[in-house]
Chains A and B, each alone.
Chain A
Amino acid sequence: MALLLLSACGGPDNAGRKGFSATAVELEHTNERLPMNEFLAWVANDENELAKTKELNEIQYKMCYLPKQTMAYMELKDEAYTNEQFMQACEHYSEMSYFNFRLALTEGSGELLKYGLGSAAEYNERVNYMAFKMQDDIFLIQGKDTLHPGLFHFERIYEVAPYATVMLAFDDKKFDKENEFTIVYDDQLFHKGYIKYNYRPKQLIDLPNLTGV
């Protein structure tokens, strides 16, 4: 299955699509039960702390955890699908923890990669950095262990956009998803230093149930 990139942080842009089933599907274990569109909104809502935002001098850094349900939905949303297909897609995304990392200009206009640009050559360096080198500067820290992403993809946009997005995934076998960890970005793009996002124990596990897929 192709790795899908989300232009936003898993927003419920197409949750009202055809083929929506009312069957209750227990995918995780909390008491809350939400339909798909609300589940996607819940995940993307900063208040629920799966999406975490930092702002540093005109640059916004947003890290968003994408549960397997969100990943499966993003893959299947453009077609009618069955519960079984949805469960299969969830299974496919169940071995890694996926995150969407977005850098954006807080002003919301202009082109992010041209922000504070010193020269034209620097622009190409930034594009290359995001595509090939940035993955070395992102890592997950748990206790004394450091883990680099097993998957990394820069979503290239061929137009003026005040943001840039990368998707990354960490191998679940290599860290304890139920325990506290921190994702660190050592910012070599705008040189703001370490940008950290802390996830509490069980934060990635305690998600609402889906009432339908």
Chain B
Amino acid sequence: MKRKIIMSVALICLAVLPVLIYHTCFQSKVAYVDIPKVFAGFEMKKELQLKYKETETARAKLLDSLSFGLQRLSAKVKANKEDRELMYEFDAQRQDFFNRKKRLEEDNVALSNQYDKQILEQMSQYIMDYGKKKGYDLILGTEGNGTLMFANEKYNISTEVTEFINDKYKGIE
């Protein structure tokens, strides 16, 4: 009787062992996220986009007002073609306008790059946190550019990830 029990246990072990080995070695937990979708749904991106727009608009308004002043001066110059002093003043203001315009455009690009970097940094960190929390071995990012040619939709965790990274960002998670 005892021998039978030992044999049965041994047989069960033999049957279960390959399954365990298979699960341990070959059943990695893998999923993918649609990066543009996650990026678009990330609250930080929405907030910083708004903040950027405000800054860009304020700068554009400043340039508009400078441009308006320059146009008025230009009209004066046309009306007083003999006034050399006015001409010099116009040249100086025009130069100043183009310098400022160039600087503000560069500042806009720098600000946009800075925000993008911050967004990507936080997004990547929170996706990593999600992977660790949920026990993933691998989370792939797809951008529709051929880095991931095909994956079954069941492996797409973009919605869950977006929810998680937003909670993380808001300090709720």
Contacts and interface: CB of A to CB of B under 8 A. Distances in A.
Interface of A: 52, 54-57, 182-183, 191-198
Interface in B52-71: none
B119 to A, nearest CB: 7
Interface stretch (B6-14, B28-36, B89-97, B164-172): B164-172
13 contacts: A182-B170, A183-B171, A192-B118, A192-B122, A193-B48, A193-B115, A193-B118, A193-B122, A194-B47, A194-B169, A195-B171, A196-B169, A196-B171
Nearest to B119: A193
A182 B125 CA distance: 20
A54 B118 CA distance: 14
Given A191-B114, A193-B44, A193-B48, A198 B122 contact: no
Contact of A56 (B121, B171, B172): B121
A193 B48 CA distance: 9
A198 B48 contact: no
Nearest to A63: B171
Interface in B119-173: 119, 121-122, 125, 168-172
Contacts of B48: 193
Contacts of B122: 56, 192-193
Nearest to A52: B171
Contacts of B114: 191
Nearest to A195: B171
Given A55-B125, A56-B125, A191 B118 contact: yes
Contacts of A56: 121-122, 125
Contacts of A197: 171
Given A193-B44, A193-B48, A198 B170 contact: yes
Contacts of B118: 191-193
Nearest to A200: B172
Contact of A182 (B44, B115, B168, B171): B171
Contacts of A195: 171
Most chain B CB atoms below 10 A, which of A52, A56, A195: A56
A55 B124 CA distance: 12
A183 B172 CA distance: 11
Contacts of A52: 171
Most chain A CB atoms below 10 A, which of B48, B119, B121, B168: B121
A212 B117 CA distance: 50
A198 B125 contact: no
Nearest to B125: A56
Contacts of A196: 169-171
A193 B171 CA distance: 13
Contacts of B169: 194, 196
B164 to A, nearest CB: 14
Most chain A CB atoms below 10 A, which of B44, B48, B171: B171
A147 to B, nearest CB: 16
